[in-house]
Structures are given as C-alpha cells and as structure tokens.
Amino acid sequence: MKRNSFIIVSLAAGAMLASCRKADEIKRNPQNLLADIFATNEGNGGKRLFNPRISNDTVYFDIPYYFPEDSDDETDLSRIILRGSIPSDAKITPALGGFTDLRQPFRFTVLAGTGEKKDYVVMGKKVGNTTIESIKVTFRDADGATQEIDGVVQETGEVLFYVMPGTVMNDAKISYVINKHTAASIPQDGPVNMAQPAPFVLTGKDGVAKTYTLKTAEPVKLAYGFGINRKLWSKSATELNFSANNEICLAVSGDYLVITRRTNPSKYSVYNRFTGAYVREMVNPLGSQLSFQMIGDDAGNLLGASWAPKNAKFILHKYKNPMDAAPVKLIEWTNNNPAAIPGDGGVGRRVNIYGNLDGNAVIMAPAGVSNIIYKWRVSNGAVVSQVPEVINFPSLANGAANFGFYAEAQPVSAEPNANYWINYQFDIALINGTSHQRIAAFANDPAISGIFHMPTAVVNFNNANYLAILKYVETYSLNKVHLSVFDVTNPSKIGTPFADPSFKNFNVFNSEQLTAPDNGNGTGDVAVGFSDNNQRMQIYYLLTNGGVRAHEFTVYAP
C-alpha cells in the first residue's frame, strides 16, 4: 500500500508542476510567396496540363486553342481549374480548385500566417499551335534518283536540311506534319527553292504567325565511322529479270555492280551501281560450266569463279573491269576434296578475296559439307601456286560437324597468314590465320544473327572496321532478310550479348526487311563500294528471288 501511495502522490505532483508551466509560443510563418501553380480542365482531376509563365505578381497561361490539340474540342476558358502550392501556415483567397473564368483577369491573394499578404493576377489566353512536328524535302539528284532529307528544327526557328557537298537538288518539294488547325505558307508537297534560305510561315488558329527559315547546311565530318545514311535504290526481282533460284552473287567494280546468274550458261549482268540501271552482259569464258560467284578486289579487278564439284576443275578468270572482253585465266585446279558426303565437297559456292590482284592478295574458298578451306596467294600480281593451301579448319563451334553447304572465309589482309572471318550456319567468328583458332566470336543468339546467316563483307570505312552480313529471320523458307552491320574494330566487343546496353554500339545498322518467295537454298550476297574520295560507302545486298537494294553511308553527321 505504501508503494502505491507513493506512485499516486508522484503523479499528482507531476501534474501540478505541468499545470504551472507557461505554454510554448507558436511562431507564425511570414512567407506569402506562391510556391507553384498550374492549370487543368474538367475531367482531368489534378493532372498538370498547362504550365505558367510568372513575372513578379502576374501569372500567364497560354492554353491550347483546342485540347487535345489534334482534336476539334475547343478549349472553354470559363471552365479552367487552377491548382497551387503555398507555404505552410498560409492560405489563398479566394480558394483554388473550382472552375475559374480566365476570359478576364482572375485575382487572388496569398495570406501569410503573420497576416502579411501578396496579391496575384492570372491572365489566360487561347493560343494556336505553330509547331513543326516533322518536315522533309524531296528532290531529284544529278542522276535523276529521288532523294529525301529530314529537316532538323532549331530553337532559333531555322529548319536545317543537312546536305552533302556537291548534292544537286532538282524539283525540290517539302512535306510536313503540323497541327490540323494551322495554316502554312507553302502547301503540302509544294515547291521550294533550296538554293537559298526560304521562309516558311505557320499561322495558328489564334491568328498569330511564326516564321521558320528553311535552309541547307553542310554536315560535320566525323573522325570515326559513318553518320548520315540513306537507302540509295531498290530493284525488285522482276525489275532485274531474276529467274527462280538463280541470282546469288554481287560484285562491285568502279561504277558498276555485277550480278551472277547461275543459269546454263551462267551470266554476269552489269548495272550502274548508283542507279540500278542495266548496262550490259559480260563475257563468260566458262561455256556450260556453272558459275556461282564473281567477286571484286580492292582495285576494281574481278574474278569469275567456276562451280567445281569433287573431281571437277575450279577455274578463276581475272577481268580488269566489267568491260574487259578478254579475261585471263588466273587459276585452274582440280578439286580433290576428300569430303565424306558423295556428290559434295564442292568448291565455288562462296569465294572471297582481300587485296589487289595486280599486287598482293589472298583468295579463300570453303568446300561444302566439310571443314576444309582452300587458300591461294597472289604476290606481285602472280599466283604463288596453282595448288592451294589446304586448311583443315579445327575450330568448328556450337556442335557443328562441318560447315554445311554454304560457308564464307573472308581474309582481312593480304599477308601470307592473314586472319580471316568465318561465317557458316553455326558460327560467325574472327580466326587467327596461323593457328586457325577463334580470336573472338559472335554470341550464338538468333536475336543477333538470325535463324540463318551467310553472305559476308568486311570493310574499313573512316577508321572503323565493319562486318556486314545478311541475317535471315522468322522462317526457314529463308526469304526474309535484314542487312546487319557490326562495328568489329575492337575485337573485345565482338561477343557482346544482345541484352547488353552497349549492343547498339556493336550492331550499328539494321536495314528494313527484304522479302522474297521461298529461298530454300538460303542464298544471297553482300558487296561494298566507295565514292566521293571514300567519303561515302555503298553496301549492296541481294536476296535470291527477292531483288537488290543499295544503302549509302557517309562520313558526315548533323
């Protein structure tokens, strides 16, 4: 009992002491400046739709004439909802949050906790939309081909069209996307003179106009790799007179593109590589012996290759150019490949070259359904030996028993033991030319290289090394492809996984899809040319039964 009494007395004493202490003084907040304000409209709750411009004690709202802006719903300024933020202990009078009529100035006061007040006025107006969403110029170049260039809208009001030096722009017209309630001074697809800066005036629904200036600009030259690129031309199988399953190879020489047709007799058809226009047929000394390949060297020479099944003659003819009427036999060798599959082990489905046939070069040709690569060297313009070096490739990957029917071995220099790229159904890899072991390889992922891949081109452009392949996608009819270009300058990046954020720096280009009727053999090709003192690179890709497309890459960037 004594213990309980003590507790009661102690509590009572504590209560008496507390009742005698003076209450803490509450300090009022003197702040009365508006922290934030925005506007919305009926049906959008607290969503921040319209932002203000604030100058001293005046708040300006430029509210779209129509909202949403691409609709026909005209904004009602009498039913705008204002919402704001103020300091703690302050209050707004009149209160915000209901409908406000901004057809006339709206005044309110922020009252601080200390009683000090700050007056504000809100001014609202409906404004038209004079924004250019997108714009492009279409023209005919010096060769008569139609070109398109997208405009880049600057904050200054300039619309820049980046045009490479020397470009001719005939019959230029502009097309654009603007708000449907806005009027333009140049009609859609209307003519424009790009030889000098041209005004382009947009007038909004509110009657206010904004003047843009259309002008061409020379792009910046990059120190590394490609920048601005475009589709150069496209020709369908019908336009190129393709026949079923017969067009399988491309070669570049000078201003020409050569298509190999494995008809009987085989044909080499010549086209202007900048326009796709047919020029002529080349001389073919093979007679009835089939040819699957014509390839070009670094100097414009061409090699026409025969198809040589086991025990047949593999013959390479050298042409100075597509107009050469007297090609010279460079190599004649009997294919003695000991392939295990009867009827195959053939050579000539794919042949690749690096270097200059008038100087030093390396020629490589895999044998079908085997692991054998044949290699010839050219030194000072002469073939070192008619009998090739035989490479029993030891580095088959991903469970492959052999190359399959189609494989490419592409040397990357003219040195005797040149490294080379190997591309067959189960692997894409850079190979050491001495040990024939993989230096680096693509990740074995269809997202990177498709369900099948084979045509290959290796090229150096503007201090970067690129590997271009055809990537077959979606179906084993092998009739849907993309041209894919990879930056392989740094071998450590070659195995970059698809999910890696840096993958886009490895796979630097993917074309639009090219389709064809069924292409069960999976044939096609990639070839590369240069122009404008190596300031532009053209990559050509062929899909059997589908046609040919040309894409141009430049050393320029906006």
Percent of the chain with pLDDT over 70: 94
Sign (positive or negative) of CA dihedral 431, 436, 438, 442: positive
Q: What is the pLDDT of residue 16?
A: 41
229-557, CATH topology level: Neuraminidase (2.120.10)
Q: Is the pLDDT of residue 13 over 90?
A: no
Q: Which amino acid is at 505?
A: N
Categorize the per-residue pLDDT at 240 as very low, low, confident or very high, splitting at 50, 70 and 90: very high
Euclidean distance between CA atoms 346 and 314, whole angstroms: 9
Q: Which of 39-48, 275-284, 358-367, 442-451 has the lowest mean pLDDT?
A: 39-48
Give the tens place of pLDDT for each residue, 511-545. 999 999 899 889 999 999 999 889 999 999 999 99
Q: Nearest to residue 421, comparing CAs of 499, 475, 482, 366?
A: 366
Residues of the chain with CATH 2.60.40.2340: 36-127, 132-218
Cβ burial 440-454 (10 Å sphere, 16+ → b, else e): ebbbeeeebbbebbb
Partners of 190 in beta bridges: 174
Using DSSP, state whether 318 is helix, strand or coil.
strand
Give the tens place of pLDDT for each residue, 117-134. 999 999 999 999 999 999
What does pTM read for this prediction?
0.70
How far CA 200 is from CA of 136, 151, 190, 214, in Å, comes to 13, 13, 11, 7
Give the tens place of pLDDT for each residue, 440-465. 999 999 999 999 998 999 999 999 99
Q: Which CATH number fits domain 36-127: 3.20.20.140, 1.10.10.60, 3.90.1640.30, 2.60.40.2340?
A: 2.60.40.2340
Any idea what the Cα angle at residue 85 is, between residues 81 and 90, rounded to 5°? 115
How far CA 39 is from CA of 109, 110, 122, 272, in Å, comes to 17, 17, 11, 61
Q: What is the pLDDT of residue 21?
A: 53
Name the average pLDDT for the chain. 91
- DSSP-derived secondary structure letter, 367: B
Sign (positive or negative) of CA dihedral 503, 505, 509, 512: positive
Q: What is the pLDDT of residue 6?
A: 31
- For 85, the token pair is 């933020």
Q: What is the pLDDT of residue 228?
A: 86
Q: What is the pLDDT of residue 392?
A: 95
CATH of domain 132-218: 2.60.40.2340
Euclidean distance between CA atoms 246 and 291, whole angstroms: 10
- Whether 303 and 320 have beta carbons less than 8 Å apart is answered as no
Give the tens place of pLDDT for each residue, 179-230. 999 999 999 999 999 999 999 999 999 999 999 999 999 888 999 999 988 8
- For 125, the token pair is 């107006």
Give the tens place of pLDDT for each residue, 285-336. 999 899 999 999 999 999 999 999 988 999 999 999 999 999 999 999 999 8
Average pLDDT over residues 251-273: 97
Q: Nearest to residue 273, comparing CAs of 554, 558, 551, 553?
A: 551
Residues of the chain with CATH 2.120.10.30: 229-557
Q: Which residues have C-beta within 8 Å of that of residue 156, sequence separation ≥ 6?
A: none
Q: Is the pLDDT of residue 343 over 60?
A: no
